[in-house]
Each structure stands twice: as C-alpha cells, then as structure tokens.
C-alpha cells in the first residue's frame, strides 16, 4: 500500500502517479478493458454488475469468513461490511484471478484496481454516462453498489482526467489516466483550493462539467479492522475527492 504523502512547499516527484512506482509495469488499459468486456460477454452480464456473479462465472467459491486462510479458488469477504465494501472486495479478488490467468501482473495494486473498476463498471455504459458532464451525484444514484471513490477513479480510465483523494493536506490516493504525463504525481494549488472549499461548505463544488470536488462522508470501523463488521453509525467528513480534466490542469503551479 502506498504511504500517504505530505504536501509541503515542494511535494515529492515520484516519476509516476502516486501508487505506481518507477519499477512497476505500466498498466495496459487496452488489455484490462478487453478482459473485462470478454468477462461481461461470457456471462451475459450488464450494468449494474454484481461482483458475486463475476465470482460465480469463474467458479470461485465465496467464503464469508475473511479471517480464515483459504486456498486457490476461494474469495474471502466480510458479510457484515457495507455492501459497497463487499462488492469491491469480491471484484478485486476476481481481478487477481483473471490477471493471473492472463499472465499479467496480478501482484501490482494498480493493475488490480484498474481491472476491478472495469469489471464493476463496463466501459461502454460508463462512458455514455459522462457524455453530458462528470456528475458524481448522478453516478452514485445509478451505481449504488460501488463507492464514490471507485466511480471517480473510473472516470480516469475513460476520459483525460486526474482523481485525487485528500484528507486535509495528505494525499491518500491519486489516480491519473495511464496515458497522461508523469508530472501529475503531485497536486496543484488549484486542486487544493478546490478541495478546501468543498470541505468548508460540506458539499460538492463544481468549476465546470469536467471539474469538481466532493466531500466524502465516511463510516470508519470502530476497532480499526474493516473485517470486524463494527462500523461507526455517524458519518465523518474527513476526505475530499477532487476530479479534474487534464486540460484544466495544464497551467500547473
């Protein structure tokens, strides 16, 4: 897991978007989308995709006891976790199995995350949802089975975009379209100001149809273990998603 990076006066440059080190194999989005499309067609699956159907399609056994060690062919998940967490946990394990079967780097987080998004959100349908703009609220309504962060990150797979998850001044995750320049590993003042404004107002702030910042109201595990099933009932506003088109980030600070 990538360590959070503190934004200082001169944020570090790591050569690639955060989460993908210089020695890792660049994600081949064409291969990812082909694998996902073939999977959907093989199972006659259409949006919204249920991750449990993906597991069944590949003869993977769902194992609702995440604390137990299992061998190949099992998908562990926590039945007491929120539905979105269950869906993404199952889909990510299906993604690992598919990458391994295609002799692709199943051990690299960015490959697994990208295929997970492609499996849960078919490209053709999702691209059509973005024709009139990037509106996270509408996407959340149409795809309630996945998290806001996954929806925002999926935009970077089908559009020229950058998605950043911030907690105060700390970058928790930054995902850019794979074909964009490596310089996007750091945030701009424009993005940070937009995130601050959304956090202060407690609602989505939009600059254009292709740029917004949205506060996340998260429910965190009481015990620190997501698999425990004990989650706070009160949402916490502690994270902000910023999504911007590459064009708007052209004038970097």
Set out the domains of the chain in order of their start, with CATH numbers: 25-120 (1.10.10), 133-253 (no CATH)
Task: Judge whether residue 228 has pLDDT over 50.
Answer: no
Q: For the residues 25-54, what does the mean pLDDT come to? A: 95
Global pTM value: 0.82
Considering the chain, what is the average pLDDT of its residues?
A: 82
HSE, side-chain direction, 13 A CA sphere, residue 49? 30
Do the Cβ atoms of 77 and 86 come closer than 8 Å?
A: yes
Q: What is the pLDDT of residue 183?
A: 61
Residue 8's pLDDT band, with cuts at 50, 70 and 90, is: very low
Which are the contacts of 213, defined by CB distance < 8 A and separation ≥ 6? 191, 194, 195, 197, 198, 204, 205, 240, 241, 242, 243
- The tens digit of pLDDT for each residue in 178-223 reads 888 766 677 888 899 999 999 999 899 999 999 999 998 765 544 4
């Amino acid at each position: 897991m990538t360590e959070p990076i503190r934004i200082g006066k001169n944020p570090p440059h790591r050569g690639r978007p955060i989460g993908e080190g210089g020695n890792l194999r660049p994600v081949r989005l064409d291969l990812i989308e082909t694998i996902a499309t073939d999977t959907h067609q093989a199972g006659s699956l259409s949006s919204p995709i249920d991750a449990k159907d993906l597991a069944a399609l590949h003869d993977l056994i769902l194992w609702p006891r995440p604390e137990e060690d299992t061998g190949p062919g099992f998908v562990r998940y926590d039945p007491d976790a929120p539905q979105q967490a269950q869906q993404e946990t199952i889909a990510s394990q299906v993604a690992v199995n598919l990458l391994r079967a295609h002799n692709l780097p199943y051990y690299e987080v960015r490959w697994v995350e990208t295929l997970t998004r492609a499996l849960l959100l078919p490209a053709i349908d999702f691209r059509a949802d973005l024709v009139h703009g990037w509106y996270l609220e509408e996407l959340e309504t149409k795809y309630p089975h996945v998290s806001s962060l996954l929806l925002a990150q999926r935009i970077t797979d089908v559009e020229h975009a950058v998605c950043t998850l911030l907690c105060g001044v700390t970058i928790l995750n930054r995902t850019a379209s794979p074909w964009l320049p490596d310089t996007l590993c750091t945030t701009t003042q424009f993005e940070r100001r937009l995130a601050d404004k959304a956090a202060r107002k407690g609602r989505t702030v939009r600059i254009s149809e292709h740029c917004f910042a949205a506060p996340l109201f998260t429910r965190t595990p009481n015990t620190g273990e997501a698999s425990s099933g004990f989650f706070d009932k009160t949402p916490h506003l502690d994270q902000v998603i910023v999504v911007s088109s590459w064009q708007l980030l052209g004038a970097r600070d």
